[in-house]
Amino acid sequence: MRYRRALVKHLLVRLALPVVDVVARRRRRRRVLERLPASPLRATRGDILGDPRWYPLDFPPRSHSALRPLVHGDEYFGDLCAELGKARQRVTIAGWCLTPQMPLLRHDQQGIATSIVADLLRQTSQRAEVYVLLWEGAPAFFEPTTRTVRETRDLLLSMAPRVRCVLDGAAPFSHDEHQKAVTIDGRVGYVGGIDLTTYAGDRWDIARHPLRFGPSWHDVQMRVEGEAVPDIEENFCQRWNEVTGERLRPLPATVSEQMNTPVQVLRTIPRDFYRFAPEGIYGIASAYLHAIARAERFIYLENQYLWAPEIVDALIAAMNRPHDGQFRIVMVLPAKAFTGKYDNDEHVRKLQDADGGRGIFAAYCPYSSGPALGPTGYHYLPVYVHAKVGIIDDSWLTVGSANLNDRGLRTDAEMNVQSISPEVARKLRVHLWADHLHMDPAEVERQDAVSMIDTTWKRTADRVTEAIHSRSVPPGGSIAHYMPGKSPGSWILDGLQMLTLEH
């Protein structure tokens, strides 16, 4: 009887913790927003400072770096495989989850056989130190559970015994360690939304998203070189040292004269997660809000979720500011988010209402398509948008792990990079739009962004949306109009959504 009472008490505590957390969210949001800096960095280290989009309370912006966007798992995993083959000193991997037997290359049987994650790390560990830091999982109710993650760790270490793999349990119940970052020899780093996993969805995919088993997956990772790489590794070392009690330090940067892109590593580190940031770090929220406040021509966002009221309010404020010429906001979301589609719907409706028919705001979602069984011979399935990308005016961009929700901006450990670089911002936008619209990148490059939003984006979405309804021949392009659904009692669902763990 005593055992049963103790078990019931334990379960009640586990259930009460997330409820208390929901009640406290509004207070935490207000507290975090009050901490966001309103003034720019002091311009004491060169002309890249003095811009409020740079976050002054964490890693400084670095003048001598290089960025290369890697869109979809195919591009990222191919690049990562090549760089792991060159590793000679140290590899660090911080992830939400990991699949040891996942192949990174898929174009032929040889690639599949030689690119298993655990085998690659085993081979790399013969030449270099390999450190893997994973979120320890949820104790109960949510996936992946701590048991699942421990089994993952044990499998990895059985296949690659020289790898060091540690589980990070700093996050309180119902929150997680969501960073997805890799560094190799202090020479190259990767930051973005792509984990080395098939958990909750296979992260490997290609631009045209052919129909496949499981959801097609749209995601982005940023390759980083130069002065910003040690900042990515410093974050890893800070977390590793807190978990293990060791004193791991980042390797020095490898910098060349060609590296002249300004880059800043941004983080969300909630208050009281770690001793190295007792008051928390909220650089991602700060950067988004300052960048949106400066937008003049267009805002382009790709994200899994649109749940953060302050982001929605900032977008509405941007709509209503006077602009020299036309101003547009484009949002790319999954058609059916794994959790909380009703919350995405609510905020899309709010932006549509604020637009009031002016044609400023539009939301889209990508679909895969192809020959299939059925009366028409064609089928359409939503592509899962897992990317976390912001591009504004072809001058500012951010890529990382942070969703536009409480977790991404306040309550989970996250990492993004941002850059004020017209060259890189435009390159990423052209790449993404060419993929979504099934266009030649050179043609996208030649056209004006706002004109394309008003013409090509709308026409493509009209055709694709009609083809989805009629199950007819794919018309070219994958973008359809985002359709908010009807969610009676959504305030109840909203509370339940806050208890879930997002991927």
> pLDDT tens-digit profile of 220-263?
999 999 999 999 999 999 999 999 999 999 999 999 999 999 99
How much is the pLDDT for 496?
58
CATH classification of the domain holding 423 = 3.30.870.10
Average pLDDT over residues 360-372: 96
Residues 254 and 278 in one domain: no
Query: How much of the chain, in percent, has pLDDT values that exceed 90?
Result: 82
What does the DSSP 8-state code read for residue 10? H
172 belongs to a structural domain: yes
Retrieve residue 61's tokens: 């912006």
Residues 155 and 287 in one domain: no
7 belongs to a structural domain: no
Mind listing the pLDDT tens digit for each residue in 455-489? 999 999 999 999 999 999 999 999 999 999 865 55
Residues 466 and 449 in one domain: yes
34 belongs to a structural domain: no
Number of domains in the chain: 2
Residues 87 and 195 in one domain: yes
Which segment of 31-45, 131-145, 316-330 scores lowest on mean pLDDT? 31-45
How much is the pLDDT for 10?
41
323 belongs to a structural domain: yes
Residues 461 and 491 in one domain: yes
Residues 276 and 256 in one domain: no
Residues 254 and 294 in one domain: no
Residues 101 and 223 in one domain: yes
User: Where do the DSSP E strands lie in 349-435?
Assistant: 361-371, 378-385, 389-392, 396-400, 414-420
CA separation for the pair 113, 452 (Å, rounded): 42
Average pLDDT over residues 181-189: 98
| 11: pLDDT strictly greater than 50 | no
CB neighbours of 52 closer than 8 A, spacing ≥ 6? 37, 38, 39, 40, 290, 294
Residues 248 and 292 in one domain: no
Average pLDDT over residues 140-150: 89
**How far is residue 385 CA from its own chain's centroid?**
10
Output phi, psi for 6, to 5 deg: -65, -40
Considering only the C-alpha atoms of the chain, give the largest distance between any 2 of them, rounded to a whole number of Å: 75
Retrieve residue 311's tokens: 């982001």
The CA-atom distances, in angstroms, between 72 and each of 19, 195, 217, 333 are 36, 11, 7, 15
The CA-atom distances, in angstroms, between 223 and each of 69, 82, 133, 499 are 6, 13, 19, 33
Which amino acid is it at 502? E
CA separation for the pair 167, 144 (Å, rounded): 13
Given a contact cutoff of 8 angstroms between Cβ atoms, the answer to whether 171 and 269 are in contact is: no
Q: Given pLDDT bands bounded at 50, 70 and 90, which one contains residue 37?
A: confident
| DSSP strand pairing (328-332 vs 361-371) | parallel
39 belongs to a structural domain: no
pTM of the predicted structure, to 2 decimals: 0.91
Give the structural domain span for 434.
264-497
- CA nearest neighbour of 76 among 193, 160, 165, 187: 193
Domain finish residue from 212, 230, 261: 261
SS3 (DSSP) at 34: helix
5 belongs to a structural domain: no
How much is the pLDDT for 142?
78
Residues 353 and 386 in one domain: yes
Domain finish residue from 245, 261, 277: 261
Residues 256 and 336 in one domain: no
**pLDDT averaged over every residue in the chain:** 90
Output phi, psi for 380, to 5 deg: -130, 135
Retrieve residue 319's tokens: 């709509």
Q: Given pLDDT bands bounded at 50, 70 and 90, which one contains residue 173?
A: confident
Query: How much of the chain, in percent, has pLDDT values that exceed 70?
Result: 87
How much is the pLDDT for 34?
62
CA separation for the pair 377, 370 (Å, rounded): 8
Q: Which is more confidently placed, 132 or 9?
A: 132
Q: Given pLDDT bands bounded at 50, 70 and 90, which one contains residue 119?
A: very high
Given a contact cutoff of 8 angstroms between Cβ atoms, the answer to whether 119 and 159 are in contact is: yes
Q: Given pLDDT bands bounded at 50, 70 and 90, which one contains residue 8?
A: very low
Residues 202 and 321 in one domain: no
2 belongs to a structural domain: no
Mind listing the pLDDT tens digit for each residue in 421-465? 999 999 999 999 999 999 999 999 999 999 999 999 999 999 999
Domain finish residue from 261, 293, 309: 261
Average pLDDT over residues 398-415: 97
The CA-atom distances, in angstroms, between 468 and each of 324, 351, 472, 478, 482 are 37, 25, 7, 10, 12
13 belongs to a structural domain: no
